[in-house]
Structure 1
Amino acid sequence: MRMPNPRVLAEVLRTGHVHARLRAAREGLTGVRLQVIAAALDLGLLDALGEGPAGTEQLAGRLGVVDHDLLAAYLRVLAAAGLVTGEASWRLTRYGRAVAGDDVVRASYEGFGGYHSELYRALPALLRGGPGRHDTVDSGEVVARLSAAIHPLIRDLLVRTVTARRPRRVLDIGCGAGLLLAAMLEAAPEAVGIGVDVDPDVAALARRTLSERGLADRAGVEEVDIREALAAGLPGALADGIDLALLANSIYYVPVDERVELLRAVARLLTPGGALLVVTTVAGPQVFSRHLDLLLRAQDGRMELPAADVLLGQLREAGLQPDPPERIGPAGAALSAVTAIR
């Protein structure tokens, strides 16, 4: 291999910001890789290869693809990215199987390759007064599946809280995939529970989780916006006292000027001495925290991440007595929990 001319290398080093250029190229390739994999999931290509190895033409038939040459070129990109191998007969690598089969990994590529990065392509129009986004509605199921990534971080806290308080009725507001509701019920075998979520697809996902865990006879899931139901005086299954309510990574989907009203309504559902556990990403200097705050502010309805001290004040204003926040996860994480007692 012929080495580059030293004078050319010296010229490269003298011109521009070399480290910035290298970082831009590295991060650019990372961005390309993200979109490469997201497209494979959207196309159904990884699932199609999960049925078994296939040549390009056979795979095109499975996918309904008519441009075989373009498909072959795309498969070579996926091969370079380490997801598939074997051009004569394409098959998934171990990594490709993990992307297709691990739902948290899959949801991560779908979410960050979708609405998380689409935000920045839409940002110029948003900054000039364009309409707000609707990611929580349009991508509700992916949002719920992504939240499963932090389930282990919250589960230990939930088990400790449930074990100490021994609730008879639990409530999960914005229950997502139902994993945390299931964790509460498993930690309190005598308890019954209710989950609420405004998205029908997400509510169906939660019901499936409860059924798979053998908990369907102890819990139900309602497709309802709890703010509207409580404001209308129609609490439904929530009419009986709740001993422990959970708001896990959902308080920031409520516009700031409506949060105290929601917290006050939830407080009224609690039995005397009952508790509301709020788990949330808080506003902080971390890149993801800043990004999520921007994403929320770009939504129709102007949401935002809560600052820890502001959240404590809102809980007090709602008539609850909050304990000091507890950080969840490793140092530097922006995930915190607050227990507030009625």
Structure 2
Amino acid sequence: MLVEVLRSGNLRARLRAARDGQAAVRLQLVAAAADLGVLDALAGGPVSTAALADRLGAPDPDLLAAYLRVLAAAGFITGEGSWALTKAGRAVVDDDQVRAIYEGFGGYHTELYRELRPLLSGGLRRRDIEEQAEVIARLSAVLEPLLHDLLTRTVRERRPRRVLDIGCGAGLHLAAMLEAAPDATGVGVDVDPDAAALARRTLSERGLADRASVEAVEIQKALAAGRPGALTDGIDLALLANVIYYVPVDERVELLRAVARLLAPGGALVIVTTVVGPQLFSRHLDLLLRAQEGRMELPAVDVLLGQLREAGLQPDPPERIGPPGAALSAVTAIR
């Protein structure tokens, strides 16, 4: 029997498809658990199926129990009838970045492919930037460890008195810069109020609230309308981390010019971005961007350098960030 299986069809492709299928099930399984609140309901200790059904408003305890058995088989909970979190389940509850990965990739990232047919047929474009802003901010925070060394090194070299984080998301990068420059003050801006609230919470939790402010504002519109708010003082160091690709292509030079005008003489802008390349995630993110309203796409490094020069900035050579094969690059440009 085993010989017949090995000889039938493309075994390697079938095994790969099976592995991919199980990984997809696992992703959607945990995304559903986060959405339903199942794992959160177990955070305080073991809970019976009946109590969970009552807490979740599930009128069919048998169906809920079948779902819980799948979660148990995947290793996120344990028990039968009285359910408790495992170490893996506890990580989803306790580590928001773990949770955000499941929510983001189990949600809008993979939803793209289920909606690809109508998109290719000329249907309505996606609006993830507006509709998924809070999840995007939390998901972007996963990259903070990769950027931490770059930011602290740049801050210590340049010794800024005032820093700016545009599209600050959860505020982790702004916090890292302020911690590396104890005498500096900072400003974070994000177009989404929920993301701005996350950033304020981060700064408060790390004891930095008295040295920074966060504004929920679209920086281009605020500056164009003459409402710069906290951005009136000269900025010594500005950051655009995983933001530039959310700006429509024909508006990028305009944004870079606006940021350049905020910089003090000799001030620097650091751009960190996934760049277009042959890697799977790079190709996926580029497609996701091109499916949005407005003309968005991942930047090519040489094009980005040209846009910085057109905006009146002098870019240094780009620096690769992250493990080998990653499509993440950083460019520092001086006014």
For 2:245 and 2:196, the matched residues in 1 are separated by 19
Match of 2:312 among 272, 297, 319: 319
Q: How many pairs does the alignment contain? A: 335
Q: State the partner residue of 1:58.
A: 51
What one-letter code is carried by the residue in structure 1 that aligns with 2:185? V
Q: State the partner residue of 2:82.
A: 89
Q: State the partner residue of 2:299.
A: 306
For 2:15 and 2:322, the matched residues in 1 are separated by 32
1:140 aligns with 2:133: yes
Per-residue CA distance 1:276-309 (angstroms, 9 max, x = gap): 0001111111101110111111111121110001
Q: State the partner residue of 2:91.
A: 98
1:271 aligns with 2:264: yes
For 1:147 and 1:65, the matched residues in 2 are separated by 33
Q: Which 5+ residue runs of structure 1 have no aligned equivalent? A: 1-5
Q: State the partner residue of 2:253.
A: 260
Q: State the partner residue of 2:332.
A: 339
For 2:263 and 2:88, the matched residues in 1 are separated by 46
Between 107-116 and 222-231, the greater mean CA deviation after superposition: 222-231
For 2:187 and 2:304, the matched residues in 1 are separated by 24
For 1:302 and 1:27, the matched residues in 2 are separated by 31
Q: State the partner residue of 1:197.
A: 190
1:222 aligns with 2:222: no
For 1:63 and 1:101, the matched residues in 2 are separated by 20
Q: State the partner residue of 1:80.
A: 73
What one-letter code is carried by the residue in structure 1 that aligns with 2:158? R
Q: CA RMSD in A?
A: 1.0
Per-residue CA distance 1:187-231 (angstroms, 9 max, x = gap): 111111110000000000001111111111111011111111122
1:296 aligns with 2:296: no
Q: State the partner residue of 1:117.
A: 110
TM-score normalised by structure 2 residue count: 0.98
Identity of aligned residues (%): 77
TM-score normalised by structure 1 residue count: 0.96
Indicate the SS of the match to 2:29: helix
Match of 1:157 among 150, 161, 166: 150
For 2:91 and 2:257, the matched residues in 1 are separated by 44
What one-letter code is carried by the residue in structure 1 that aligns with 2:18? A
Match of 1:177 among 166, 170, 181: 170
For 1:225 and 1:88, the matched residues in 2 are separated by 50
1:41 aligns with 2:34: yes
Q: State the partner residue of 1:3.
A: none
Runs of 4+ in structure 1 off by over 4 angstroms are none
Indicate the SS of the match to 1:50: coil
Indicate the SS of the match to 1:193: strand
Q: How far does residue 10 in structure 1 lie from its aligned partner after superposition? A: 4.1
What one-letter code is carried by the residue in structure 2 that aligns with 1:97? R
For 2:12 and 2:229, the matched residues in 1 are separated by 60
For 2:49 and 2:160, the matched residues in 1 are separated by 57
Q: State the partner residue of 2:19.
A: 26
Q: How far does residue 11 in structure 1 lie from its aligned partner after superposition? A: 4.0
For 1:207 and 1:180, the matched residues in 2 are separated by 12
Q: How far does residue 15 in structure 1 lie from its aligned partner after superposition? A: 3.6
